[in-house]
Amino acid sequence: MTKIVFENVHKKFHNNFRVLNGVSLKVADKEVHVILGRSGCGKSVLLKCLLGILQVDSGDILVDGLSVKKKEQHRDYIRKFSILFQGNALFDSMTIRGNVEFGLQQINRNKSECRSIAEEKLLAVGLDRRIFDLYPAEISGGMQKRAALARAIAIEPEVLLFDEPTSGLDPITSGVICHLLRDTVTKLQITCLTITHDLKVAEFLSDHSSILNDGAIIWTGKTKEMKRCGDEFVENFYRASHSILEVSA
């Protein structure tokens, strides 16, 4: 069963710069899908269009048949998602616990329930109780990523989105976070869409991936088949991800 459908999505900015030029893609229910692409190719814009933060110029995005374009469906539409932002996007003015509780409070849970769920999720992502009452600026990037993941999963979304999940982290912390993300997704059994430029992250998180280039999805398939898919850009992307010396100009 298809969960997310991108139908010929176009998006350009005020200076007529065309970012998305007919993106079409289907993501199945409970599938873990990764969209790969070079930096600046429009991956984050695609994600923001999916969330309705940016409006698509033409085409449509459907999640369980609900359209991103229909305002009357927006409340039900947006409730399906949760996202782990590239920069974590934790609220500076709230403690780590407060950040997780805040999301829960919006779905009409009572205070003590919010508190216990928040603590449970924070512990589940491997955070120590001692940091619950600290502010985001007082903890490391890896801890912030965990806290942001706790906030994202606490509201029990149907679709979990990861925007460059290992961006800005050292290789060891990246590995730890990747394991945490994969374990979380496996445990929750929900649809997951990740965007990244890092093929190793894609290979680790999912079997299925797509390549976004020049504003369109140019390839979709099994990640391990990328090496010999016949598309010059995709094969070049694969080689570049494994050794920068093998890139053709």
Partner 1 sequence: MLGFFDQNTLLLMIALPLLLLVVSHIFNGVAVCSTMTNLVASVGVYTLSALQGIGKITFFAASGIKSCFAPPFYFRSTINQIIVIGFYSLPIVGLTALFAGMVLAMQMHVGFTRFNAEGSIASVVVISMTRELGPVFAGLMVAGRMSSSIAAELGSMRVSEQIDALVTLHVDPLKFLVAPRIVAGVLTLPLLVFVADVIGVLGGMIVSTTLLNFSVGSYVVQTISNLELMDVLSGLAKAAAFGFSIACFGCYHGFNSELGARGVGESATTAVVSSCICILGLNYLLTAVFFGI
Interaction between residue 90 and partner 1 (CB under 8 A)? yes
In sign, the C-alpha dihedral spanning 176, 85, 152, 95 is positive
21-60 residues in contact with partner 1 (CB under 8 A) are 48, 51-53
Q: Of 90, 81, 12, 3, which is closest to residue 47 (Cα–Cα)?
A: 81
- Judged by CB under 8 A, the stretch of 35-43, 98-106, 208-216, 226-234 that binds partner 1 is 98-106
Tokens, residue 44: 């984050």
Single residue of 68, 82, 118, 192 touching partner 1 by CB under 8 A: 82
Please pick, from the candidates 5, 66, 78, 188, the single residue that binds partner 1 as defined by CB under 8 A.
Answer: 78
Min CB(89)–partner 1 separation in Å = 4
Residues 162-221 touching partner 1, rule: CB under 8 A, are none
Element (H, E) at 176: helix 171-188
Contact in structure between 10 and 49 (CB atoms under 8 Å): no
Binding-site residue total for partner 1 (CB under 8 A)? 23
Distance CA 137, CA 186 (A): 30
Pick the stretch among 102-110, 111-119, 193-201, 214-222 that binds partner 1 (CB under 8 A): 102-110
Identified binder of partner 1 from the candidate list 85, 219, 237, 238, rule CB under 8 A: 85
The Cα–Cα gap between 100 and 142 comes to: 16
Helices (H) and strands (E) counted in the chain, each on its own, are 8, 10
Cα distance between residue 184 and residue 188, in whole Å: 6
> Could you say which of 89, 124, 218, 229 contacts partner 1 (CB under 8 A)?
89
Q: Which is nearer to partner 1, 80 or 208 (CB)?
A: 80
75 is a site residue for partner 1 (CB under 8 A): yes
Q: What is the distance between the alpha carbons of residues 2 and 121, in angstroms, rounded to a whole number?
A: 29
Least CB distance to partner 1 at residue 147 (A): 12
- Residue 137 or residue 245: which is nearer to partner 1 going by CB? 137
Give the Cα separation of 138 and 130 in Å (integer): 12
Residues of this chain that interact with partner 1 (CB under 8 A) are 48, 51-53, 75, 78-79, 81-83, 85-87, 89-92, 102-103, 106-107, 151, 155
